[in-house]
Structure 1
Amino acid sequence: MTDSLDPVVAKFVDALNSGDRQAFYALLTDDATMSDDGNDRDLRQWTESEVFGSDGRMDVESVSDGGRSLVANYTNSRWGSMRTAWRFTVSGDRISRFETGQA
């Protein structure tokens, strides 16, 4: 399923799933922002808590919007597994914003 993702979004998913902080943060613009369930969050704080600090993993279920939106089963050690929606704003070869929330 990840083969239909925008190439930058595919790298984001791969970096997240492999726990590769360096690759993950390298994909984000310096001023990147994010929201969770419609609320803007501190990107690094959220990512450290919900992804890297809790072994976050994303199993992509469906892709839309030219590969820049997806639905995934997201699992981490903090919340367990949930169906989530993700939308990405891609600027060149990096992500300037992502939004996630329960699907």
Structure 2
Amino acid sequence: MAIAVDKLSDPAVRALVAAINAGDREAFRQTLAPGATMSDDGSDRDLDDWTEREIFSSRGHMDVRSESSAGRALIADYRNDTWGEMRTAWRFTVDGGKITRFETGQA
């Protein structure tokens, strides 16, 4: 059973997941601190290139299955038009209400 996005504990993470699921690039960018970074399966990636390819141009969507670490760690079923659906883990670093880093990969 998925956790409703509006029930996610951390406000910044909640806003990021909502932006991904809405396909809203601008709302997504608003969740990030300047200079935010990310990694995928343990390798640092260019955040703008990765999010365009893996989220926005491929219609990415997250169904959150569980959260921990005060809402800054998620297990989600993630799907997009490129890879289909897979179980993923997401960890977020939040400072001042903005996401400074996120790490994702297969769970």
What TM bracket, shorter-length normalisation? Answer: over 0.9
Alignment match, 2:45:
41
Q: Distance in 1 between matches of 2:64 and 2:48?
A: 22
How many residues end up aligned between the 2 structures? 103
Q: Report deviation, 1:67.
A: 0.5
CA distance in 1, matches of 2:94, 2:33: 9
Summarize the alignment of residues 54-93 of structure 1 with structure 2, pairs less than 5 Å apart.
Answer: 54-93=58-97
2:20 corresponds to? 16
1:27 maps to: 31
Task: Kindly report structure 1 stretches of 4+ aligned residues shifted beyond 6 Å.
Answer: none
Q: CA RMSD in A?
A: 0.7
Gaps of 5+ in 2: none
TM norm structure 2:
0.94
Once residues 11 and 5 of structure 1 are traced to their aligned partners in structure 2, the CA distance between those partners, rounded to angstroms, is: 11
What is the deviation of 1:93? 1.5
Q: Could you tell me how far apart the structure 2 residues matched to 1:10 and 1:4 are?
A: 5
